[in-house]
Amino acid sequence: MAVPSQIHHFHFSNCLMNASGVSCERKEELAALDDSAAGTFITKTATLEAREGNPQPRVETFALGSINSSGLPNQGLPYYLQALADFQAAKPDKTYFLSVTELEEEKIYKILEEVEASDFKGLVELNLSCPNVIGKPQIAYDFETTDRILKRVFSFFTKSLGVKLPPFFDPSHFDQMADILNAYPLAYVNCINSVGNGLVIHDEQVVIKPKQGFGGIGGETIKETALANVHAFYQRLRPEIAIIGTGGVCDGRDVFEHILCGASMVGVGTTLYEEGEGCFASLTEELEAIMKEKGYQSIEDFRGKLKYMD
């Protein structure tokens, strides 16, 4: 039971994967993802050195989703490179994702130089959209900085690189960001990261400690924004740049809609957090049932074929 997909020459047995940050910080968590019905996994965003992240409580769910202000807690790049080498040795034909970022521009180049020098052979995701590092902006909301970073990264980086984008909400921003992205040999873009700096209140109090309760919103409530970003970039990007759709995936219908909007792989965050790795099997079953009912044999029968009104 699976719906295969691919990004460039990388083939995946199933089109579902985790959203970076959820159930993927430790090797044991990655092993559970590796053994699940997901076609692959992506690591928690790694920084050069391990990080504690923000004070707890920093992740909470609410009726329509989740809020988090984790602050990039992770085990540091060497931990993930070693873990990925072990997973790759066990499953030579499987492709994995490594997510990385850093808090200063010069360190972004340093961490990618270290990845470039490593034996990692999967896809690398540069996270340009963490909303939760106190005092730090979401990089991809600064077009000039994003362009400068990609220009310098591609002057030395030869592995397959994608970027994790925040949500955009204005066609002129879709246009500007797509113009930048189209100038570089990106393997993919991953739309979207959490909707930054939302506020969840219970009675009279915020529900997470960091940043006076402000945190990234995920889950059911962000699906329409996620779909719009997937489709907006699908409409604008060169076809060589694939799209991973992340955000608001609660059932097979949501997976179907992400693919209809143009996604080649679909990332699951809040639902994974709430239901565990078993969600990948149920989401796959639901997607297969929809495809069967509609007579679609494979993803390519409907990927990107969202219908407009005449």
Ligand X SMILES: O=C1NC(=O)NC(C(=O)O)N1
Sequence-separated (6 or more) residues with CB below 8 Å from residue 294 = 302
| Region from 127-135, 201-209, 233-241, 296-304 binding ligand X, contact rule CB under 6 A | 127-135
Which H/E stretch holds residue 14?
Answer: none
215, 132 in Cβ contact below 8 A?
yes
Q: Is residue 245 involved in binding ligand X (CB under 6 A)?
A: no
Minimum CB distance to ligand X smaller for 216 or for 219: 216
Q: What is the smallest separation between the CB atom of 209 and ligand X, expressed in angstroms?
A: 13
Q: Is 129 in the site for ligand X (CB under 6 A)?
A: yes
- 194 is a site residue for ligand X (CB under 6 A): yes
Polymer length of the chain: 310
At its nearest, how many Å lie between ligand X and the CB of residue 195? 9
Is 40 a residue that touches ligand X (CB under 6 A)?
no
User: Cα–Cα distance between 133 and 140 in angstroms, integer?
Assistant: 14
Alpha-helical runs (H) found in 186-269: 223-236, 252-260
Q: Which of 24, 130, 250, 279 is catalytic?
A: 130
In the complex with ligand X, the residue whose CB is nearer, 39 or 216, is 216
* Binding status of residue 244 toward ligand X by CB under 6 A: no
State the nearest-atom distance from the C-beta of 69 to ligand X, in Å. Answer: 6
Distance CA 230, CA 288 (A): 21
Contact code string over 206-225 relative to ligand X, x by CB under 6 A: ----------x---------
Closer to ligand X by CB, 196 or 252: give it.
196
Candidate segments 104-112, 128-136, 225-233, 288-296, binder of ligand X by CB under 6 A: 128-136
Distance CA 259, CA 254 (A): 9
In the complex, the smallest distance separating the C-beta of residue 53 from ligand X, rounded to whole angstroms, is 6
Residue 175: CA atoms inside 13 Å, Cβ hemisphere, count?
A: 3
Would you call 239 exposed, middle or buried from its count of C-beta atoms within 10 A (0-12, 13-18, 19+)? exposed
User: Which member of 127, 225, 246, 264 binds ligand X (CB under 6 A)?
Assistant: 127
* Side chain identity at residue 39, one-letter code: G
Start-end of H helices in 202-278: 223-236, 252-260, 270-275
Q: Rule CB under 6 A: which of 43-62 touch ligand X?
A: 45
Give residues 62-81 in contact with ligand X (rule: CB under 6 A): 68-72
Among 197, 278, 292, 261, CA closest to 18: 278
Instruction: Identify each DSSP E strand in 63-102 by its residue range.
Output: 65-68, 97-100
* Binding of residue 261 to ligand X (CB under 6 A): no
Closest CA to 46 of 136, 105, 111: 111
Residues within window 18-37 making contact with ligand X, judged by CB under 6 A: 21
Taking residue 231's Cβ as centre, other Cβ atoms within 10 Å add up to 22
193 binds ligand X (CB under 6 A): yes
- Residue type at position 107: K
Tell me the site size for ligand X, rule CB under 6 A: 14
Q: Which is nearer to ligand X, 197 or 282 (CB)?
A: 197
Let me know if 15 is a catalytic residue.
Answer: no
Q: Which residues contribute to the site for ligand X (CB under 6 A)?
A: 21, 45, 68-72, 127, 129-130, 132, 193-194, 216
The set of catalytic residues is 130
